[in-house]
Amino acid sequence: MKTFWDERYRSEAFIYGEAPNAFFASKIKLLAPGKLLLPAEGEGRNAVFAAKLGWDVSAFDWSEEGRKKAERLAEKEKVTIEYLVSDLEQVVYKKESFDLLGLFFAHFPEKVRHGYHQKLSAFVKPGGKLIVEGFAKAHIELSRANPKAGGPKDEGMLFSLDIIREDFPEFQWELLEEVTDFLNEGTFHVGESALIRAVGTKVDRDN
């Protein structure tokens, strides 16, 4: 899969566009800037947008080509981001060190998804936020009808409301919904899409 994403990101154009994910943009604007972690960040559109709002941004992806594009975009927009090339198995951050975790179309294989989500959750401070947008199980049919809608072809990698609840039990949800909406993000997220959207706050279990 690393080779797949390197090949996809190698194009001159930003394949998901340079603008941030619209759901992310609408929610992060409501928060005071702090430390943000963006896994599977690809070409850096969300990282750069957040940095322009004053966030201290850490991002990672296993694609070297994605990192190059992200750093190019950051230079264009005159901001600084920290971007590591790593998979989730190897990446290390300090426990409870981030004010916000953002997961945008970060779909992992079913057998490792819960463990990966729990690892990421541990990086968030009590009282910190989680914002998620990803494809729902129902998206598999929309993607088959319109390949430009994008998304994993393996239904096991797609989300449901119960998956988000079970994988992130430390969070209380201000928003947790499944919606159908039209995405228009670059070349590979274009069309009617079934989406899971979530905004939650990590609970301090010690209090």
Calculate Rg over the CA atoms of the chain: 16
| Tens-digit pLDDT profile for residues 57-116 | 999 999 999 999 999 999 999 999 999 999 999 999 999 999 999 999 999 999 999 999
Is the whole-model pTM more than 0.85?
Answer: yes
* SS3 state of residue 178: strand
* Domains in the chain: boundaries: 2-202
**Model confidence at 15: pLDDT above 90:** no
Report the CATH number of the 2-202 domain.
3.40.50.150
Spacing of C-alpha 54 from chain mean position: 19
Q: From CA 113, how far away is CA 123, in angstroms rounded? A: 16
Six token digits for residue 131 = 């914002």
| Tens-digit pLDDT profile for residues 125-146 | 999 999 999 999 999 999 999 9
Six token digits for residue 38 = 């963006």
Asked if residue 159 lies in contact with residue 179, where contact means CB atoms within 8 angstroms, the answer is no
